[in-house]
A and B are shown apart, each in its own frame.
Chain A
């Protein structure tokens, strides 16, 4: 019996909502209860975007995540805004290519992944989000190859099926990354 509340946050265009959708679909594939709620302000490319994702063994109550177990911060404004909200004992994943400062909290675990740099080094500049997801699943011990592939198949539309392989490769890069 467990519930994990995720908050994904970053610039519009970084694939924040997509990353959240992937985690929700993976929960669905794994037979969990899930919810996905985007921020839907007057946001656009370059603005801020965030989404709440809950994956649970029991029915999801409120879909709004205000105190995440897992914060995924893909830019500095996101870390500044949500660092204090993370539950004690929670985990912060951040894109250290874009966030130069350290996390101030001492009661949370932190994984700093230079996702944007890894993405451009590996010729997949738009997939920093999926590199972080690979790391998250590895840390949460939830990188089931079958369910990852199934979830990717659901979240990537048939029209873009040629993107499956590179997304999977991005996740493997994140999975293998060590500080």
Chain B
């Protein structure tokens, strides 16, 4: 199939349709509104549902409803809207429902701004709402990955009966790049737990996140974390770039990884041995490449559009064997390749910038 130029937001929407999603619920917010606009245009033509809810809270609860019926369903928003969905995300986790959620981040906290940010890293990788749970968090760094990871997100959500979230940012949502929509979609699994009617041939299925007997609630939590162990073993994704002989390693995802690749190439031209580890799943976090790199690099630099959130996972994964420093911009600002290059040069000299 020919490549087409698409915005990242549009690529997510089209990929979701390709993945078999026929139900979208949302509420507009910059910089992800193109997802809703695309769905509003396409869904009615293919027999799907586009519904602009009265609020983000309503939208996530509509997701809960459709997920209970065993169908592929999604919502999307940006940072403040995702906070509003927090309760629903926790309920989805408590009811072990598969869902697909997109967060095209903007600067915070509060209403913040509308420019790109990565400052919802803690919120998404630590669950997002109350209680013990995780979401699978996918961090695309190109429009092509926006499409591919959307399909992957629906598949993982169904496979593990949990929420998969795309954690993108304003640049990823707004930029256009050539994208191939020749996407492979696996057949969705059977969902015998779904509330699709008993046909008087089986017991009622009940979808609920309420569990008042502590012994039983404990069991549910423990069982969920047994599933998480499998995900941590089987579903970790990352890219290593020029890491073989690296003395300095950058950790970056999304737009920060794009900027960092430029800086890595420039530094290599100067003779500095630097590489990049790019987590693609933020949860489960790719611990192994950081543990391995900690044996041969003298410093990690975490490049982030936040005050330093992923840096904590880099420190944990590398067991603080070597220093981990932060190179960042916040509030909607983006580090330049020059800023990252300066951090690399300083790290190579052994000092902290």
Chain A residues with CB under 8 Å of chain B are 21, 24-25, 28, 33-38, 40-42, 60-64, 66, 154
Contact = CB atoms under 8 A, between A and B. Distances in A.
A38 B177 CA distance: 12
A35 B337 contact: no
Interface stretch (B18-26, B121-129, B255-263, B316-324): B255-263
28 contacts: A24-B176, A28-B3, A28-B178, A33-B178, A34-B5, A34-B177, A34-B178, A35-B175, A35-B176, A35-B177, A36-B5, A36-B176, A38-B174, A40-B170, A41-B115, A60-B177, A61-B258, A61-B259, A61-B262, A61-B337, A62-B258, A62-B259, A62-B262, A63-B171, A63-B175, A63-B258, A66-B336, A154-B5
Nearest to A66: B336
A66 B262 CA distance: 13
Contact of B5 (A21, A42, A60, A63): A21
A64 to B, nearest CB: 6
A62 B337 contact: yes
B49 interface: no
A28 B3 CA distance: 8
A155 B197 CA distance: 48
Contacts of B114: 40-42
Contacts of A154: 5
Interface residues of B, number: 22
Nearest to A53: B176
Contacts of B174: 37-38, 40
B107 interface: no
Nearest to B337: A62
Contacts of B262: 61-62
B334 A64 contact: yes
A51 to B, nearest CB: 9
B117 to A, nearest CB: 13
Contacts of B115: 41
B101 to A, nearest CB: 22
B98 interface: no
B5 A24 contact: yes
Q: Per DSSP, are chain A's interface residues mostly helix, strand or loop, or mixed? A: mixed
Nearest to A60: B177
Most-contacted residue by chain A among B31, B176, B177, B334 (CB, 10 A)? B176
A4 B4 CA distance: 20
Given A35-B177, A40-B30, 10 more contacts: A21-B176, A24-B176, A35-B176, A36-B176, A37-B176, A40-B170, A41-B115, A62-B259, A64-B171, A66-B336
Interface in B1-56: 3, 5, 30-31
B314 to A, nearest CB: 21
B175 A37 contact: yes
A158 to B, nearest CB: 14
Nearest to A20: B176
Contact of B259 (A24, A34, A41, A64): A64
A61 B5 CA distance: 17
A36 B178 CA distance: 10
B243 to A, nearest CB: 17
A110 to B, nearest CB: 25
Contacts of B178: 28, 33-34
A1 B119 CA distance: 36
Contacts of A28: 3, 5, 178
A87 to B, nearest CB: 13
B148 to A, nearest CB: 16
Interface string B95-125: 0000000000000000000110000000000
A37 B143 CA distance: 12
B232 interface: no
Interface string B288-326: 000000000000000000000000000000000000000
Interface in B162-186: 170-171, 174-178
B265 interface: yes
A66 B334 CA distance: 11
